[in-house]
Chain A
């Protein structure tokens, strides 16, 4: 008598559901569907049967059973799940400590990988899953995408393999290496791997370009046609971008200190900067929190103050601002009312980008950024 039949005897009338579930789970090393949705009226035996199946079929660290009423916040849920995967029970002996502290889905994924030591599948069982809707709105979609977050995309793997394999075989075809000389072949393919991870994955190089250029890449890795383009922006627009970046990351109360053009101001600024960095350890830095929105007027004030020469405030500047918004280099945070004066924005460019821009106009952005590195 196999396991399914045993269970069917225990839970009469549920034999088809039991066998479906067992088939879906299969062997511990099998890949199962990303999400199994078990539904039905209350007290039909869902929880009991599932609990029974999992305790019998899998070892304790391969599944985590979570009651969503009991674990009503994200951190409770994640920490409890991780405890089970890691095989730790908070108790008097270990001072009621969780395995790790975990508050969000990103951390959860990272930790999950840490405790994932073998090839076996892991199951996260959520009882009373309807309660998930009451938690953060992003939680449910994130959990549903968990396999995508934690596993490799098979299609992507196939894609890379099909592009890289011909290159791998090339020495064999050319007769410079034998089929069995794995080491030599692997060494040969290594440089392509690096390139593929950088460029192919993001489709910076398309498959056709790859096929055409693969042979050339060998010769010059920094081929002009394959390196990504640099953006050309008018001179003043670069300063607008810088001003937007500064306005997004600097607290407004420090504007006077940074942008009032006098020597005294600068000296005090530097002194204070060091003190502040030491003090503000407790609070998260703006750099980590991401850009804050600011009124356009503030950005313009910074813009005029950082420009090396004085210019008249013409309509062209405002046009550039609106075109930056269209280009999504600035993001508008207020609703789309047509009056430019009341608009609030935030920057949408990375530090590396702005550094490059600043360099091209010889502006030392690091001197003006508060608590940033």
Chain B
């Protein structure tokens, strides 16, 4: 920058993109660090290779971290994230499974149905209707690509030919059709290659060659498609093959309505000639439309004219609503996952807010999550101890250096842990001084954390089960909201008013209802127990409760569980006798239900503690929300203002860095646009262009006398040019 300035006082950076690679500051720090105890200074060139080899992970602890732990962190990151990613992917694949199955079903039966029904009822519709599936996919357009790919794949697997049309590829009818035909014919070819025998394929390939070098038909001629379909029908053994030509219109809102109109009419017109003779079923190509709608059905009425609308036989398929989707995701990835990195309160809240308030975008949620996980392993020198089992822990303990232990001692949760042991002076000293003693405790901490997570998620889901079976709509909370509450209550979720009132409601329940809840809890728990002894005991306890509640229930068969009205009580003596029986059993009931509720209360208290009460929770919980915000909440306006007001913030040029005090001053070395912007701020509402120019010139003159060996006029022109360029920008 300064060099350029020296050469030409008016040249400056007007546009630029700066990539700041990590690494340089570390190099700097490394040389600054005094003790080279653990640094492997073999040749000093290994920093750059690391960037590529280890995802740009660097050695922490002032660059003294051993390569082994660095490698472990990278490895752990890859492992953890791939596990989480797999869970997310399989969840997303299954989330809309039901709807997609319905769609496939619709496509498969699209043409059978009509004929059956119309034959049955003797319907003779005036319109030749095109089966159309309307897929309500939600407003988040960026996620649609994945979704429709999924639908297309499923359809192809079922033997249908699929063409996906996006508005970006379809500017006019000609390229829309050629695009569509290409896709339809390709997919069909692949599908048949898989299924049919060799001879068939040969025939097909010849056909395609003929079609492709096509001197007769252009590739956007619908006759090509018709002829090709006819050929397929003839060559495939079964005459009534079920394959349909599915045309997916992914982003209906973005399409040119005229184009869609034409396309629709076209599909209706096209009739493959010989097929009509052969079969009475097929009057035209079995084209099925799949229209992705992000908004509401009214948009269809708005964009398409009545004449086109009447050509469509529409059925509606709605996919999962964003809230439900989000609930599942949070449950699967964050609440139930006992391994992996967890989000602390602030990041969780931030991620939830952006999803619910701003964009409904699963993909952006996932990328934020990935960023958090990556940053955890990238920046936390202790992260190689996160989520490991007993055997791994032993091996990794050996890698712990004194610096690592010091860092452990610096953690807030460790301080809490020590403070809790203050009465035991000896142990505290040992904790703080004896490295070996501390090391020996670490596996315990890690295990405790894992157990805590497991139990927490179980207890958490108990609450969810209970709130759902309560007959109180006001008590029902979404899972993500409950979890947010759990993170917010630093005393533990069990201390919150909400859980207290849940327990209160639990007390009011009768034994039948209670039994249902206990059984539901038991069933949920037995799926998640993974052979942990403590949890097995809890299960058997629950089983016991269920049995007792059941037997009480059986005793009273014939009696209603609900208290009877006074009028009924007076009806007869025999009734009164029964009432006495009932009173007895009610006593038993109350005791039993007291026990059950007591158990739940205790279970909640033990397991729904806040995560900050667990020692070394920093290993698992990620809390750096500011970094996430910085990375994902770009603020274009603020960035622009900073760039214009304090260009040194981004450019880091020497001239401005030297003199930090003069931030507001307009320096001639700054960018033209910056100078103009600052001058603009100094002026009032209206600017005289000439005054502005003079002021601009004045600032530049401050840089020193402009070299006079050039002629005056070109220089002035140049000045003018810069001014104009700056203003326009």
**A residues whose Cβ falls under 8 Å from a Cβ of B:** 153, 155-156, 158-159, 162-163, 166, 202-204, 206-209, 211, 225, 228-237, 312-320, 323, 326-329
Contacts and interface: CB of A to CB of B under 8 A. Distances in A.
Given A159-B310, A208-B114, A313-B637, A228 B296 contact: yes
Interface in B609-653: 633-638
Given A159-B126, A207-B114, A208-B315, 16 more contacts: A153-B306, A158-B125, A159-B127, A202-B301, A207-B129, A228-B298, A232-B139, A235-B357, A235-B358, A313-B635, A315-B634, A315-B636, A316-B354, A326-B253, A327-B141, A327-B295
Contacts of B121: 166, 211
B49 to A, nearest CB: 35
Enumerate the 8 nearest inter-chain pairs by beta-carbon distance, A residue then B residue, closest first.
A315-B634, A158-B126, A235-B357, A206-B313, A314-B633, A316-B358, A206-B314, A155-B126
Contacts of B140: 323
B123 interface: yes
A208 B633 CA distance: 48
Contacts of A313: 635-638
Contacts of B360: 232-234
B316 A232 contact: no
Interface in B118-159: 121-127, 129, 131-132, 136, 138-141
B299 A320 contact: no
Contacts, number: 123
B117 interface: yes
Interface string B311-347: 0111110100111000000000000000000000000
A113 B309 CA distance: 26
Contact of B123 (A153, A166, A237, A314): A166
B362 interface: no
Interface in B279-324: 294-299, 301, 303, 306, 309-310, 312-316, 318, 321-323
B325 to A, nearest CB: 10
Contact of B139 (A202, A225, A327): A327
A163 B253 contact: no
Given A232-B138, A327-B139, A208 B117 contact: yes
A323 B140 CA distance: 8
Given A206-B315, A207-B125, A211-B121, A234 B356 contact: yes
B171 interface: no
B251 interface: yes
B257 to A, nearest CB: 10
Question: For A208, A313, A317, A320, which residue has the most chain B Cβ atoms within 10 angstroms?
Answer: A208
Nearest to B110: A208
B254 interface: yes
B633 A312 contact: yes
A206 B312 contact: yes
25 contacts: A155-B127, A155-B310, A159-B310, A162-B124, A202-B309, A206-B132, A206-B312, A207-B114, A207-B313, A208-B113, A229-B136, A232-B138, A234-B322, A234-B356, A234-B359, A236-B358, A312-B633, A312-B635, A314-B634, A315-B633, A315-B634, A315-B636, A316-B359, A326-B141, A326-B251
Nearest to A207: B313
A162 B123 CA distance: 6
A136 to B, nearest CB: 21
B310 A203 contact: yes
Contact of B309 (A203, A229, A231, A323): A203
B258 to A, nearest CB: 14
Contacts of B354: 316
Contacts of A225: 316
A327 B253 contact: yes
Contact of A203 (B314, B322, B323): B314
Given A202-B309, A234-B359, A313-B637, A323 B139 contact: yes
B254 A326 contact: yes
B633 A316 contact: yes
Contacts of A202: 301, 309
Interface string B90-127: 00000000000000000000000110010001111111
A231 B295 contact: yes
Given A208-B113, A232-B139, A232-B321, A203 B312 contact: yes
A228 B357 contact: no
A145 to B, nearest CB: 11
Interface-central residue, A158, A211, A229, A317, by most chain B CB under 10 Å: A229
A80 B117 CA distance: 52
Contacts of B633: 312, 314-316
Contacts of B298: 228
A256 B42 CA distance: 69
B312 A163 contact: no
A329 B129 CA distance: 29
B135 to A, nearest CB: 11
A313 B316 CA distance: 37
